[in-house]
Amino acid sequence: MINEKGASAIGVLHSLERFGSKLGLERIAALMALLGDPQDKMKCIHVAGTNGKGSVCRYIYSVLREHGYNTGIYTSPFVIDFYERIEYNGECITGDELEIYTARVMEQTEKMLAAGMDSPTEFEVLTAIAFLFYAEKGADFLVLEVGLGGSGDSTNIIKAPITSVITSISLDHTERLGMSAADIAAEKAGIIKTGCPVIMFVDEEGAAAVIAARAYDLKAPLIDVQKKQRGVTRRSTDGYEFWINIEGRAYNDIKLSMPGEHQVRNAACALCVIDLLRKKRLITTTAEGIRAGMRNARQPGRFEILKIGAAGLDEAAGCVEAAEHVEAVEHVEAAGCVEAAGILDKPAVEVVLDGAHNEAGAAVLADTVAELYPGEKVLVVMGVLKEKRLDAMLKHLDRIAGEYIATEPDNDRKLSAEQLGEKIKNNGKKCAVIADPREAAAAAIARGNEFGLIVIAGSLFLIGAVRRYLCEKAG
């Protein structure tokens, strides 16, 4: 929850929205110089990619923490609350801390304006806050997720990351990054620095070639995760198990708590990072520590499974507020104070929350549902932003959807529920239209006895609104 001081700082940051979202490093470079360039005082692992970068960051972060390293993780967007974006050693930045660091950074921003310079954007100021926060915490490592693209993203102000990671390339944000996979790859390859190792898992050959060429030009050693021997040994709704061989070192019995083949590739990327850090003698690891770190890594809203009904929510849910028009149910001791949205005399409803916000995300979501829930009747609750390639997304989701509920993300760039519903109906699918995402989720759960699975998918702004409704932690 946002306390009073946190709300004040967040209000200051949101006031910068008027400057829009701009790529380019001129403003962030000037701001960081005024702050003493704290970003140059940390060991950074820089992660870009169309999909999967958040999960890759989370696996790396979890393994480093498991081995006792003081580690920060900077990600976007948030799912539950704003503070998630700046996390250190398992704790999010507090409201008081955000207030202090915001004031310090905004003081330097005022100096920029007084000198006639352009104002930094909200994301640039937040990135500066994060760098200053982690540097003063004395972080051993910072796992740094690119916000948008690569070369022009404010996180790219770092000069020499331990490694640059590119997790995937597909068509998304084409209006900003380019109309082809090769164009997008060129933008994301902008995070590669001279002599700094590059780890990539890119399927599209043209995009992979662009990244490889950039790495070659900058004499940056390239590790192609696709070429590593690996195999999946177990698939289930509670996670996958796999093995991988990296340069002759076997990583066996790796269990993931996040399901899906795509999570295996994300985890493989992360293990290549860990292996590189070990070889550079920046960390020491144990086999059990690596397994525990990978197993404990979780990313809210990425094929996250909740069971809602008489048994309450899944143990991971935390404290949950019930839907207004359904009965609140029992506390779940392992989760703390839990109120579940469900009806006591009905069996549990299985709900998947997934931030499948583009074509590639919709494809892996559909593949994972088909693999783990074969033959089940599926109700899809969907909400997207206007700029998304809707036809391409629906092509994949139509493979699993028996029916839809069209709703809207909690964002000004949302596609209206009416427009989405009309498109779905034109594709020959039955679709209800409920604009409010909370009401849409409650309506889906109320019909849970008609379906084997409810999937809530699309923008992470939608997933955040629904997840806060279903499983918001107390405090």
Q: Are residues 64 and 141 in the same domain?
A: yes
The tens digit of pLDDT for each residue in 204-224 reads 899 999 999 999 999 999 999
Answer for the pair 332, 313: CB distance below 8 angstroms, yes or no. yes
Q: Are residues 416 and 339 in the same domain?
A: yes
Q: Are residues 272 and 392 in the same domain?
A: no
pLDDT at 316 over 50: no
b/e map of 19-58 (b: 16 or more CB within 10 Å)? Answer: beeebebebbebbbebbeebbeebbbbbbbbbbbbbbbbb
Answer for the pair 51, 170: CB distance below 8 angstroms, yes or no. yes
CB atoms within 10 A of CB 77: 17
**CA neighbor of 318 nearest in space, from 89, 85, 1, 66:** 1
pLDDT at 317 over 90: no
Q: Are residues 284 and 367 in the same domain?
A: no
Angle of helix 261-279 relative to helix 287-296, nearest 10 degrees, comes to 140
Could you tell me the pLDDT band of residue 315, with boundaries at 50, 70 and 90?
very low
The tens digit of pLDDT for each residue in 267-308 reads 999 999 999 999 999 999 999 999 999 999 998 899 999 988
Answer with the one of 296, 316, 331 that is the final residue of a domain: 296
b/e map of 155-165 (b: 16 or more CB within 10 Å)? Answer: bbbbeebbbbb
Return the higher-pLDDT residue of 341 and 418. Answer: 418
Q: In CATH, what number is assigned to the domain containing residue 9?
A: 3.40.1190.10
Share the mean pLDDT of the chain.
Answer: 87
The tens digit of pLDDT for each residue in 37-48 reads 999 999 999 999
Q: Are residues 313 and 261 in the same domain?
A: no
Q: Average pLDDT for residues 357-362, to the nearest whole number?
A: 89
Q: Are residues 177 and 224 in the same domain?
A: yes
Answer with the one of 265, 296, 327 that is the final residue of a domain: 296
Amino acid code (one letter) for 85: R
Angle of helix 390-397 relative to helix 417-426, nearest 10 degrees, comes to 60
Q: Are residues 244 and 340 in the same domain?
A: no
> Tokens for 158?
């770092």
Q: Are residues 268 and 405 in the same domain?
A: no
pTM for the model: 0.88
Q: In CATH, what number is assigned to the domain containing residue 334?
A: 3.90.190.20
Strands 349-354 and 304-308: antiparallel
Q: Are residues 155 and 182 in the same domain?
A: yes
The tens digit of pLDDT for each residue in 171-183 reads 665 556 666 888 8
The tens digit of pLDDT for each residue in 233-269 reads 999 999 999 999 998 999 999 999 999 999 999 999 9
Ranges assigned E (strand) in 356-436: 378-383, 401-406, 430-433
pLDDT at 365 over 60: yes
Answer with the one of 234, 262, 296 that is the final residue of a domain: 296
Domain of 153, in residue numbers? 4-296
pLDDT score of 19: 60
> Tokens for 418?
């009416």
CA distances from residue 291 to 79, 237, 346 in whole angstroms, order as listed: 26, 18, 37
Q: Are residues 46 and 121 in the same domain?
A: yes
pLDDT score of 20: 58
pLDDT score of 312: 40
Q: Are residues 141 and 61 in the same domain?
A: yes
Q: Which of 42-46, 316-320, 414-418 has the lowest mean pLDDT?
A: 316-320
pLDDT at 24 over 60: yes
pLDDT score of 4: 61
pLDDT at 103 over 70: yes
The tens digit of pLDDT for each residue in 1-15 reads 445 667 888 888 888
Q: Are residues 389 and 290 in the same domain?
A: no
Structure letter (DSSP) for residue 248: T
Percent of the chain scoring above 90 in pLDDT: 70
* Number of domains the chain contains: 2
Answer for the pair 356, 457: CB distance below 8 angstroms, yes or no. yes
